[in-house]
Amino acid sequence: MPKPPTDNLRQVAAFGRAAVAGGSVAAPLPDDVEVSFEFFPPSSDGAEANLWNSIQRLAPLNPKYVSVTYGAGGSTRERTHATVKRLLDETNLLPAAHLTCVDATTQEIDAVAQDYWDMGVRHIVALRGDPQDSSGRYTPHSGGYSFACDLVAGLRQIGDFNISVGAYPEVHPEARSAKADMDNLKRKIDAGADQAITQYFFDTDVYLRFVDQARAAGIWVPIIPGIMPIHNFTKVANFSKRCGATIPRWLGDLFDGLENDPETHKLVAASLVAEQCRTLHAFGDKQFHFYTLNQADLTYAICHMLGVRPKHPVGSDADDRTNKKQTG
């Protein structure tokens, strides 16, 4: 069994939140933060240009990895594959490919995973996946992996992947209970997952309680907070209703009246999420996974306030060399 971490919430619990967080957000910039970025594959030429502009903007921040989301079947799967391949071929970034159980046999999923391994991909984000039909209910494929824990076990038979799985501080919307959801996370870890990336959240206390509960359940792998920069509060609020992420009243108050003021909206959003991350850092979290929505500016600004900055000035020749592999 993995050794319990010495720098996590158990230490903090002895002193309490106020003692740790009292002056933490205004403390000197951290110098030990690691970040990763999630992108989704483009659906058009214009979207592809926007995606690669965002990747090039964020690449100088030297993320630990960048993940690419995955849809079951058809062009979505192919676009994921093409994006991952281009990341490998044209950048020095380490791609993490999403893989789901939805609408595919075990042989089909294994073939995709083997193809990723042969390409040089060593990190998989293994997820059950969302229902593909209008019922909104997930039904396992009769010849496929039923759940993420089964997918993790299957991946372990293919290669020595670094495997991330999902975790839900506010409970997965389809889970019978919080305990059932935690039991499911434990099954994924026991099947061989190396770390868990959480659904985004806005109440840090919810996340901190969740990590305490996971540790109590015997889950000692890293739990990485998923961070959502708020590009459009109305859209985020609507999406959060569907995925079970709570929008605290104070959050709505901060964005009230900014529907037609995008510049102020950006300033509020960057400050808010940077403060969230700085608070989590004070509790021992040193890695953050950003759901970029293929938009770079807010994520870049938040990283700047976390002390994550380019080694070379943006736009310099040296910076360009960090983004693109040399040829010839």
Contact 221, 196 (CB under 8 A): yes
- Which residue type occupies 95? P
CA distance 260 to 249: 20
Q: What is the mean pLDDT of residues 30-49?
A: 93
Single pTM value for the model: 0.87
Q: What is the mean pLDDT of residues 319-327?
A: 46
pLDDT in tens, 200-248: 999 999 999 999 999 999 999 999 999 999 999 999 999 998 888 999 9
- Which residue type occupies 248? P
Among 83-87, 238-242, 297-301, the range scoring the smallest mean pLDDT is 238-242
Domains of the chain: 9-309 (3.20.20.220)
Q: What is the mean pLDDT of residues 128-142?
A: 70
Q: What is the mean pLDDT of residues 304-322?
A: 70
| pLDDT for residue 73 is more than 70 | no
| Position 131 confidence tier, pLDDT thresholds 50, 70, 90 | low
| pLDDT for residue 142 is more than 90 | no
Q: What amino acid positions are annotated as catalytic residues?
A: 38
Q: What is the mean pLDDT of residues 284-290?
A: 97
Residue closest to 286 by CA, chosen among 307, 309, 311: 307
Instruction: List the structure tokens of 324.
Output: 């693109």
- Which residue type occupies 168? Y
Predicted pLDDT of residue 175 = 87
Between 259 and 144, where is the model more confident?
Answer: 259
Between 152 and 313, where is the model more confident?
Answer: 152
Between 262 and 314, where is the model more confident?
Answer: 262
Contact 149, 159 (CB under 8 A): no
Residue closest to 98 by CA, chosen among 68, 74, 55, 65: 68
